[in-house]
Structure 1
Amino acid sequence: MTRYLFTRLWQSAVTLVIASIVVFWGVRQLPGDPALALAGEEATPERVAAIRADLGLDDSLLVQYGRFVGNFVRGDFGESTRTGTPVTELIGATLPVTLWLALYAIVVAVVVGVALGVVAERYRGRWPEWMANAAAVVGLSVPNFWLGILAILWLAAGLGLFPASGYVPVAENPASAFYHLTLPALILGTSLAAVIMRQTRASMIETMKTDYVRTARAKGLGRGRVLMRYGLRNSMIVVVTIVGLQLGGLISGAVVTERIFALPGFGKLTLDSVFTRDYPVIQAVVLIITVGYILINLAVDVLYSVINPRIRVGGAS
């Protein structure tokens, strides 16, 4: 186990270095001059040159990358070229919004997806399975932005069940915060719930065909009890894999949902920084998402052995 963790940490470090190089180079390939965007279209060449020198853009790319890595290791992401605010403050104000939204969406997706998957397997060939499959197809086919608009029109503006926009910090009022996040979380977790439902159903069907399940049934255990005790537990490996892969995607892909529901999250910060060529913010955002992906996948691999002890981590026999 220790050797496996060491290997994964080493691989993660290499991945992070490569990602930092790609991010640093890719950001500087964006069209436009950040110094000109900051100075304004009518600024004099001398003013633009002064801003470039102040931002360190006149240095070579190697020097800029070395300064970028050094600051990142110290936890210093610099200041936003657009507002002059430290990047750590911007991230600290927006990242919790997206994290709470993503975690809430995952909880909703797991509960709904696993429940529909169990129902689909338990009532195979009957109308509950057809309804669950139809719900999964809708969840995978309909774009989130369209579902979000419909939800605002029907559930928020029409029935008044949820607020159409706004955000309350969880630390100030947890009940109000989750109330405001419920509708965005439902929309964001729809496609993930559909994927979990399909995979849970498929995994449980395969599990119910195994020899140990037949043995349990032969000993007199009912189908429902076997389904929950053996089928559901083994399907959790698939669920953990999907959640691990999708959590980072939800954090980075919540841009549309945050824009629809006017949430001051990571997505809004990312879009604003891209439009204004705000190099420090873009670099910090992308690297934080990359680190999140790496840590989540490492945690998922470790959880495999917790859920199913028969799995030997690192390929050990």
Structure 2
Amino acid sequence: MRSYLLHRLWQSAVTLVLATIVVFLGVRALPGDPALAFAGEERDPASLAAIRERLGLNDSLVVQYGKFVLGALRGDLGTSTRTGIPVSTMIGTGLPVTIELSLLALLVAIVLGVTTGVVAAVRRGRPAEWFANALALLGLSVPNFWLGLIAILYLAVGLGLFPASGFVPFGEDPVANLHHLVLPALVLGTGIAAIVMRQTRSAMLESLGADYIRTARAKGASPRAVIGRHALRNSLVVVVTVVGLQLGILISGAVVTERIFGLPGFGKMTIDAVFQRDYPVIQGVVLVTAAAYILINFLVDVAYSLIDPRIRVAGGQS
């Protein structure tokens, strides 16, 4: 187990280093000059030269990358060229909102997706499976932005069940916090639930047709034990893979949902930084997102070894 974890940690570290290089070069490949965006109306050569010197844009790419990495290791992601606020402070303000929204959306996706996936597999060829497949197709087909607008129009404005926009920190009022996030989480989690449902159904169908399921039934195991203890548990490797990957996608892909519902998360911060050519903020946001992906993949691998010991043994031998 230890050698397996060390091997995965080493792979994660190498991936993170490569991610810093891609982030650094990708941000500087964006069209436009950040000095011009920062200067505003003061675009005389002397002002632009002073701005480039202050932002370190006159240094070589190697020097700029070295400063970026050293600062990131110290937890210093630079200072926003537009607001003058440290990037780490801005991320510390917006990231908890996005994480909370993503976790709630993932909870919605797991509850809806796994439940309907199991029902569709157990009730194969019956109306329950057709209904579950129809819901999954609908969830995959409807764009989040359209579903969000419809939800605001009918559930928030029409019926007044939820707030149409805004955010309340959890520490100030937990009930109001959840009340503001329920509707965005439902909208964001619907599409993920459809993916989880289809993968759960496929994995469950494969498990239900395996020899060990027939053996368990022949020994007189109850249908609940066959489905929950044997079939579902052996299907969890696929489900955990999908859930882990979708959590990373949720953290980086909640931009549209946050904009629709006026949530002060990564969405507004990222879009404003791109339009304003705010290099430090863009670098910080993308780097944190990449690190989140890497961490989630590592945790998924650890979950594999807990669910299926054969994966742990194979990983240790390799």
TM-score tier after normalising by the smaller chain length? over 0.9
Q: Match for residue 37 of structure 2? A: 37
Structure 1 residue aligned with 2:232: 232
Maintained 8 Å contact 2:109/2:193: yes
- Partner residue of 1:206? 206
> 1:25 & 1:9 partners in 2: Cα distance?
25
8 Å CA contact 2:3, 2:316 repeated in 1 = no
Q: Output the CA distance in 2 between the equivalents of 1:31 and 1:202.
A: 44
**Are residues 1:172 and 2:172 paired?**
yes
Instruction: Letter of the 1:135 partner, please give it.
Output: L
Equivalent residue, structure 1, for 2:13: 13
Indicate the SS of the match to 2:64: helix
**Residues in 1 aligned to 2:317 and 2:173: alpha-carbon distance in whole angstroms:** 48
TM superposition score normalised by structure 2: 0.96
Per-residue deviation, residues 6-32 of structure 1 (Å, max 9, x unmatched): 222222221111111111111111111
| Corresponding residue SS for 1:264 | coil
Asked if the contact 2:270–2:282 (Cα under 8 Å) also holds between the matched residues in 1, the reply is: yes
1:122/1:224 contact within 8 Å kept: no
Q: Hey, what does 1:289 align to over in structure 2?
A: 289
Counterpart residue identity of residue 60, structure 2: S
1:43 is displaced (CA, Å) by 2.8
Query: Does 2:66 match 1:66?
Result: yes
User: How far off is 1:246 after superposition?
Assistant: 1.2
Q: How many residues align?
A: 317
Runs of 4+ that moved beyond 4 A: none
Question: Given the alignment of the two structures, is residue 76 of structure 1 paired with residue 76 of structure 2, yes or no?
Answer: yes
Q: Which amino acid aligns with 2:317?
A: A
**Unpaired runs of at least 5, structure 2:** none
Displacement of 1:122 after TM fit? 2.1
Q: CA deviation at 1:223?
A: 2.8
Normalised by the length of structure 1, the TM-score is 0.96
Q: Which residue of 2 aligns with 1:96?
A: 96
| 1:222 to partner: Cα distance | 3.4
* CA–CA distance in structure 2, aligned partners of residues 67 and 20 of structure 1: 12
Identity fraction in percent: 66
Separation in 2, partners of 1:141, 1:9: 37
Structure 2 Cα separation of the partners of residues 68 and 222 of structure 1: 59
State the shift of 1:119 in Å. 1.3
Confirm whether residue 314 of structure 1 aligns to residue 315 of structure 2: yes
- Deviation at 1:42? 4.5
C-alpha separation in 1, matches of 2:121 and 2:29: 50
Cα deviations by residue, 1:53-82 (Å, 9 ceiling, x for unpaired): 111111111111111111111111111001
Matches within 5 A, 1:243-262: 243-262=243-262
CA contact (8 A) 1:27 1:283 kept: yes
**Pair 1:115 & 2:112 matched:** no
Q: Secondary structure at the residue paired with 1:128?
A: helix
State whether residues 255 and 267 of structure 1, in contact with CA within 8 Å, keep that contact through their aligned partners in structure 2.
Answer: yes
Structure 1 distance, partners of 2:285, 2:157, is: 33
- Work out whether 1:194 is the aligned partner of 2:191: no
**What one-letter code is carried by the residue in structure 2 that aligns with 1:111?**
V
Tell me the equivalent position of 2:162.
162
**One-letter amino acid of the structure 2 residue matched with residue 225 of structure 1:** A
Question: CA contact under 8 A between 1:163 and 1:180: conserved in structure 2?
Answer: yes
Deviation at 1:315, TM superposition (A): 5.9
Matches of 2:62 and 2:220 in 1, distance apart? 70
Deviations 1:63-117 (A, max 9, x none): 1111111111111111100100111110011000000000000011000001101
- Once residues 142 and 243 of structure 2 are traced to their aligned partners in structure 1, the CA distance between those partners, rounded to angstroms, is 20
Q: Distance in 1 between matches of 2:145 and 2:272?
A: 19
Contact kept in structure 2, 1:305 and 1:313, CA below 8 Å = no
Q: Which residue identity lines up with residue 76 of structure 1 in the other structure?
A: D
Aligned partners of 2:251 and 2:223: how far apart in 1? 39
Gaps of 5+ in 1: none
Q: How far apart are residue 193 of structure 1 and its match? A: 0.4
**Partner letter of residue 96 of structure 2?**
P
Cα RMSD of the aligned pairs, angstroms, is: 1.4
Structure-1 separation of matches of 2:145 and 2:66: 40
- AA paired with 1:105? A
Tell me if the contact between 2:117 and 2:196 (Cα under 8 Å) persists in the aligned partners: yes
SS of corresponding position for 2:309: coil
Larger displacement relative to structure 2 (76-85 or 301-310): 301-310
Q: Which one-letter code corresponds to 1:167 in the other structure?
A: F
Q: Tell me how far 1:301 sits from its aligned partner.
A: 0.5
Please name the residue that 1:150 is paired with: 150
Matched residue type, 1:314:
G
